[in-house]
């Protein structure tokens, strides 16, 4: 695994809560607030899980990332707001792509996803 992946994941999680990125959701009604809150929780759970995985075990990183992508897909299906639904679908697809790379020890794509996701999902939650 490339160096610094766990640290970048922690930074991405911090960004999810920073500056209200996923807070104050649900202003547009529907279930947006709940889906955004559940998405933030899913990110937190993923980061907690991968913090326990050895950087030398790319198979476990891939497995955790694939599961996380599945969770984001479920959240996309639950979302009533089309903007949020599309943002979550996009992130799930990006996560699946990143899982393939991280499974071989290359975390570059995962780092990119985790860096961009808070802004991309946060914009849909506003």
110 vs 94: CA distance, rounded Å: 8
Q: What is the DSSP secondary structure assignment for residue 29, as one 8-state letter? A: S
Selection from 51, 22, 15 nearest residue 38 by Cα = 22
Task: Spell out, as residue ranges, where the chain has pLDDT lower than 70.
Answer: 1-29
Task: Give percent of the chain with pLDDT exceeding 90.
Answer: 44
The 3-state DSSP class for residue 19 equals helix
67 vs 65: CA distance, rounded Å: 5
Give me the pLDDT at residue 82, please.
Answer: 94
Q: Are 89 and 42 in contact (CB under 8 A)?
A: no
> Quick count: other Cβ atoms within 10 Å of Cβ 40?
21
**Paired tokens of 105:** 């020890």
**How much is the pTM?**
0.80
**What burial class does residue 91 get, using C-beta atoms within 10 Å of its C-beta: 0-12 exposed, 13-18 middle, 19+ buried?**
buried
The 3-state DSSP class for residue 126 equals coil
Give me the pLDDT at residue 22, please.
Answer: 45
Give me the pLDDT at residue 74, please.
Answer: 97
């Amino acid at each position: 695994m490339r160096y610094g992946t766990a640290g970048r994941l922690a930074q991405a999680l911090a960004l999810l809560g920073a500056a209200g990125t996923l807070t104050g959701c649900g202003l547009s009604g529907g279930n947006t607030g709940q889906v955004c809150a559940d998405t933030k929780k899913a990110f937190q759970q993923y980061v907690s899980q991968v913090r326990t995985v050895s950087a030398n075990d790319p198979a476990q990183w891939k497995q955790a990332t694939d599961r996380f992508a599945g969770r984001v897909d479920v959240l996309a299906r639950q979302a009533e707001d089309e903007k949020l639904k599309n943002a979550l679908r996009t992130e799930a697809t990006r996560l699946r792509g990143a899982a393939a790379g991280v499974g071989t020890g290359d975390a570059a794509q995962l780092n990119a996803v985790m860096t961009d996701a808070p802004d991309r999902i946060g914009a849909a939650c506003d």
